[in-house]
Structure 1
Amino acid sequence: MNHAINFLVESGISLAVFSLIYILFLRKETFFRLNRIFLLVSVAFSLLLPFLHLKVYEPKSILLSEVTVTPYRNLIEAVTIYGQDLSGNVVHQISSSRLIVFVYLLGLLFFMLKFVMRIAQIRKLVLKNKIRRVGNVKFVLIHSEFSPFSFLNYIFINPENRNNEGYEKIIEHELEHIRQGHTYDVVILEILTILQWFNPFMWILKKVIRENHEFLADKAVLDSGVTTTQYKKLLLNQVVGFDVQLANNFNSSLVKKRIKMFSKMKSSKLANFKYVAGALSFVLLVVIFACEQKEGIEPTPTNNKQVVLNIEGKQLTITGDDIMDILKDLLSAKDYTIDTMKEDGITYVSAEKNAETDVMVSRVLPDKAEVFIVVEEMPEFPGGDAALRQFIVNEVKYPELAHENGIQGKVFVNFVVTKSGSIANARIVRGVDPILDKEALRVINTLPAWKPGKQKGQAVNVSYTVPINFALN
């Protein structure tokens, strides 16, 4: 579900950007072929954008809002996870609302049925009327008063109007729609509009592409030798009949705009620089939506067996076949309680002195593990942000020794929410005093398992940094 919503959000934003660029800079220009290319590339790019994922290596991790701790009470201003991109925040809001999803699906069904009915309408006209083939073009002969239109390689005409003035130019106009493949543009846009029915810019984009089709066909007819005055008269005489909507219709409500456009002077070549705005938008959208920030973890020595020892807050990674037995013997001789656990092929050993409870357990990620900064589905603390705030309130205690000695300051702790949801690689990235550093690290290491983050449907490791502010006043 989240992937589908992400697709709709990112492609919708992209379509909106390009629609605005076209309307503001390019719509009034007479570079009809370039405009068509720009519009079609914009649509294709918008469809592909949600699937683009470019790796960007960046040492900074996601920063949690500051947590303030006093010796009198644990005060949290706010604990909110930042770092999700625009689409990520929107996706989260939409996916959490059943009403929004229901309304969207209802609209999707409505416009899908409407599309199918239009196709059925055209099919009915083809099946119920005589067809005359001329080369690759099929003329559907309908004895009704309407303006000719085309769909695929079909041209729908009234044969009784064959002797009317300008009839050949009308046919030439529709033939140009067929030659340039305008129907394919229309069908693709209709399908995209079904998916993006809620997006007003999608409807605008569909309208301007239909306009562009008419401008292109008009230009082809005028280039064949028809005068502007004759063609104006011909257009005005054709304002009659029904509109099938999916088809390329000679009788369009765009007649006034078409007359104005082909009567206009050709755009200056300098106007080509306006397409730079479109090119810059492509780059900007890729940077915003397609770049994934990812942090590389320095590899540690590899071996068939790896053991991570955590004793009294110090970590040591050791490799070897018999190391487990050696460690247990050494630690047992010094009255330590041993606890072992395996995850991702690594054995974690935590050692705690008997009758002491301040020894921390800190996991270390496997060799060559990838750590991401921003992913499509960010990790989630059980119960949400409110539960995370409450957990920190309950767990962070201002050390008495630090209180007595007036020690205060902000400690930055970096950690990774692993693909299994556990906390790993907890470390102090900027400390104040060993007493405060140790307390901050202790709390982070006691965080319960999160719902892991996901990228392209796969669970991944995601890095965070939380500043814990120890304040005496």
Structure 2
Amino acid sequence: MTPEFAYLLKVNVAFVLFYAFYRLFFYKDTFFKLRRAILLAFFGLALFYPLLNIQDWVRQQEPIADVIYMYSAMLPEATAKADAAASVDWYGWLLGSLGFIYWGIVAFLCGRFLVQLSSILWLAHTSERVVIHKTPVYALRKAAGPFSFFRMVFLHPESHSDKETDEILTHECTHVSQWHSIDVILSEMMCMACWFNPFVWLLKREVRHNLEYLADNTVIQSGYDSKSYQYHLLGLAHHQSVTTLYNSFNVLHLKNRIMMMNKKRSPGIVRTKYLIFIPLVGILMLLSNIEAVARLTVRLANEATVSNAMVTATGILVDETGQPLIGASVVVKGGKEGTITDRKGAFSLEVPANAILRCSYQGRESQEVLAADMTNNTHLSLSSKSREMNEQVFTVVEKMPSFPGGDAELLKYIATNIKYPKESQDNGEQGRVICSFIVGRDGSVNNPEVLRGVTPLLNEEAVRVINTMPRWNPGMQRGKAVAVKYTVPITFRLKSPVEETKEETLTVVDVMPQYPGGDHELLKFIAQSIKYPTDAQEAGVQGRVICSFVVDKKGNIVEPKIIRGIDPSLDAEALRVIGMMPRWTPGRQDGKAVRVLYTVPITFRLQ
């Protein structure tokens, strides 16, 4: 379901509930001003309540992108391929056809609205403006029913006696002074947008009726005889209307108007029932946000579970070149626990899994990391504070920097130019090196550093490849090129021995593999790491990328692939984020760690 369709659906559901609520509680009372306020509130709330969604678990990475409605699920690879091959886009065809019909009727109704508006303006242009009983009036050249539109009153003076004229002007001046035409225009616009919903047309009718009740009530309270006024209304019922886009004196169910004029005034205490509208709004908001509330509940439950678990956080702090930082401080943010690194830059600290560790070293930028992410001697780089003092460096801008040819070409460039150090191969060293660098205003690649490394040799090779990159297309902020910090993962993987390649990869096991901290942390990681490719944004490309990968016996993410893709840039971005994931807790079968196939869909959605 597209965001636009979901919004339209919520708006129309609200109109159904509002009309039922109005008929049940307010239809028969005589508090016409309160009824007018409620009817206008219906339109405003129906339009805006779907926009007030509780989605604090989503972090927007770019202004125009609402990325990642994402969940974790098992999906056998063979089944996914079969579905992709056999699928016919009937759903897209149906949505396109319905959209064409919808907008076609909207265009027709808008055209009719403009024709009616033009006819009123033409009448004002061709009619003589006179003053009758101290009231400016547009005198109609032909006999027609009196009416008003905003500050204009139209009347055929020869068709009415002086007494009738007084009553008519009192009635129409009420419409003018209280700006009833705003209500009429608003209800017309709602009907144009929601033409398929009969309850919107019924609400429009109630708006028109209530405006006439207000004007009739003013006439009666001005001292005119009620019975005489009602007879005059009956006498005007045969007059022909010029158009429907105005407040008319002699149309709209005279029987209802006469009954309302003769109705006993509602007691003041009955006004308290209008307070029922407040819980209705609350219920509507809850229903609109039911999915987000459910996600929030799960997230809080998971956080409570994680907060009770203790982990041993281990890591190695290094500088930009991969050299260990001796005596660096590692403390729990907001707590008293802490330690310092040894000669190898390593530390070990037992803390709650959801604790935030603050790592600092004199003369270098401090970093804060989640303890649950530091469980495998993770390398963490602390950069020099003096690195970029001459210009501001952004992390998120309106237009992110891009490698020439896009993300797919970036991955191809790294794969072509990377050289696996022989010593690392002999020692069986492999893993994922996460590097950052700054794309300058001129597109140059500067200050590469290792944020999370494996070994000094692999770290140095990753930095070497980054230093060889050609100029990028620079990032843009407010139309100007700016320096932007960019992050890429580079994976070093040894060829598996023959016996390893023959190992069975399972899809369902006794204990499924798990991201550190659980599913809610996986959602958080994806939301913070994803970057909507600029070329895909400009081309309006969006949709769901289904990816699979294997969590091996050690918890490493291996063999990532696209099961069902959309666009090369989006596919490459999904693989990039999966490649940045830390080690998982491996799956287990019969008590033993095993290889498990895992599948996640990642949805890219433009706002």
| Pairwise TM-score range, normalised by the shorter structure | 0.5 to 0.7
Q: How does 1:121-200 map to 2 (within 5 A)?
A: 121-132=119-130, 138-200=136-198
CA distance in 1: counterparts of 2:487 and 2:133, whole angstroms: 69
On the 8 A contact 1:331/1:351 being kept in 2, the answer is: no
Q: Distance in 1 between matches of 2:254 and 2:572?
A: 59
Cα distance, 1:419–1:66 mapped onto 2, change above 3 Å: closer
Whether the 8 Å contact between 1:341 and 1:347 is mirrored in structure 2 is yes
Structure-2 change in CA distance of 1:116 and 1:379 (3 Å)? closer
Distance, in Å, in 2 between the alignment partners of 1:11 and 1:420 is 34
The residue identity in structure 1 corresponding to 2:597 is: V
Counterpart mapping for 1:305-384 below 5 A = 317-320=378-381, 332=425, 334-338=427-431, 340=433, 345=487, 347=489, 349=491, 354-355=496-497, 356-357=500-501, 371=527, 380-382=544-546
2:515–2:522 contact (8 Å) kept in structure 1: no
AA partner of residue 452 (structure 1): T
> Alignment RMSD, CA only?
4.7
2:150 & 2:179 partners in 1: Cα distance? 7
- Is the Cα–Cα contact under 8 Å of residues 14 and 46 in structure 1 kept in the other structure? yes
Letter in 2 for 1:217: A
Taking the aligned partners of 2:174 and 2:288, their CA distance within structure 1 comes to: 38
User: How much does 1:363 deviate?
Assistant: 8.7
* Residues 98-154 of structure 1: CA deviation (Å, up to 9, x unaligned): 110010011011101100110111111111110125799641101322221000111
Contact persistence 1:141–1:158 (CA under 8 A): yes
TM-score normalized with structure 2 length? 0.53
Q: Which amino acid aligns with 2:264?
A: M
Pick from 83, 96, 99 the counterpart of residue 97 of structure 2: 99
Structure 1 gap segments, 5+ residues each? 80-91, 309-313, 383-387, 397-416, 458-473
Q: 2:132 and 2:93 mapped to 1: Cα distance?
A: 53
Task: Indicate the residue corresponding to 2:277 in structure 1.
Answer: 278
Q: Return the offset for 1:371.
A: 4.7
Name the amino acid aligned to 2:248. N
Instruction: Choose 126-135 or 27-36, whichever is displaced more.
Output: 126-135
Give the Cα–Cα distance (whole angstroms) in 2 for the partners of residues 25 and 141 of structure 1: 41
Aligned length: 387
Deviations 1:290-326 (A, max 9, x none): 57456599566578799x9xxxxx855330269xxxx
1:240 Cα deviation after fit: 2.3
Question: TM-score with structure 1 length normalisation?
Answer: 0.67
User: Counterpart amino acid of 2:13?
Assistant: I
Q: Which is bigger in relative contact order (C-alpha 8 A, separation at least 6)?
A: 1
Partner of 1:156, secondary structure, is strand
Q: 1:431 to 1:338 in 2, by over 3 A?
A: closer
1:161·1:167 contact (CA, 8 Å) conserved in 2?
Answer: no
Check 1:273–1:338 CA distance in 2 against 1; reply closer, same or farther (3 A cut): same
Correspondence for 1:230 among 220, 228, 231: 228
Q: Distance in 2 between matches of 1:218 and 1:36?
A: 14
Distance 2:264 2:34 in 1: 17
Structure 2: which amino acid aligns with 1:109? Answer: A
User: How far 1:330 moved relative to its partner?
Assistant: 9.1
Task: Name the CA shift for 1:419/1:276 in 2 (closer, same or farther; >3 Å).
Answer: farther
Secondary structure of the 2:285 match is helix
Q: Give the conservation status (yes or no) of the 8 Å contact 2:25–2:273.
A: yes
Contact 1:94/1:100 (<8 A) preserved: no
Q: Per the alignment, in what secondary structure is the counterpart of residue 443 of structure 1?
A: strand
SS of residue in 2 equivalent to 1:220: helix
- Following superposition of structure 1 onto structure 2, how do residues 196-275 of structure 1 map, counting pairs within 5 Å? 196-243=194-241, 244-275=243-274
Identity among equivalent pairs (%): 21
In 1, Cα distance between the equivalents of 2:542 and 2:270? 44
1:153/1:178 contact within 8 Å kept: yes
Relative to structure 1, the CA distance from residue 300 to residue 2 in structure 2 (aligned partners, 3 Å threshold; closer, same or farther) is: farther
- Residue 15 of structure 1 contacts residue 202 of structure 1 at CA under 8 Å; is this kept in 2? yes
Return 347-356 or 101-110, whichever deviates more. 347-356
What is the letter of the counterpart of residue 43 of structure 1?
F
One-letter amino acid of the structure 2 residue matched with residue 186 of structure 1: V
Distance verdict in 2 for CA 1:426–1:321, change over 3 Å: closer
Q: Which residue of 2 aligns with 1:469?
A: none
Q: 1:63 to 1:431 in 2, by over 3 A?
A: farther
CA distance in 2, matches of 1:362, 1:350: 23
Distance verdict in 2 for CA 1:97–1:428, change over 3 Å: farther
Match of 2:597 in 1: 443
For 2:597, what is the secondary structure of its paired residue? helix
Give 3-state SS (helix, strand or coil) of 2:263's partner.
coil
Task: Report deviation, 1:62.
Answer: 7.6
Find the counterpart in structure 2 of residue 89 from structure 1: none
Q: Distance in 2 between matches of 1:101 and 1:113?
A: 18
Q: Distance in 2 between matches of 1:188 and 1:17?
A: 19
Amino acid at match of 1:234: H
1:9 corresponds in structure 2 to 9
| Separation in 1, partners of 2:188, 2:100 | 21
Deviations along 1:321-380, one digit per CA (max 9) or x if unpaired, are 69xxxx9899645324556566862646565574135699999889985859xxxx9972
Q: Distance in 2 between matches of 1:274 and 1:419?
A: 58
Secondary structure of the residue aligned to 1:54 is coil
Which amino acid counterpart does residue 544 of structure 2 have in structure 1? E
Cα distance in 2 for residues equivalent to 1:425 and 1:12:
45
Look up the SS of the partner of 1:97 in the other structure: helix
User: What's the CA shift string for 1:400-420, capped at 9, x where partnerless?
Assistant: xxxxxxxxxxxxxxxxx9994
Taking the TM superposition and a 5 Å limit, the aligned residue runs for 1:292-307 are 292=292, 293=295
For 1:285 and 1:33, how far apart are their aligned partners in 2?
24
Match of 2:603 among 437, 452, 457: 452
CA shift at 1:19, angstroms? 1.7
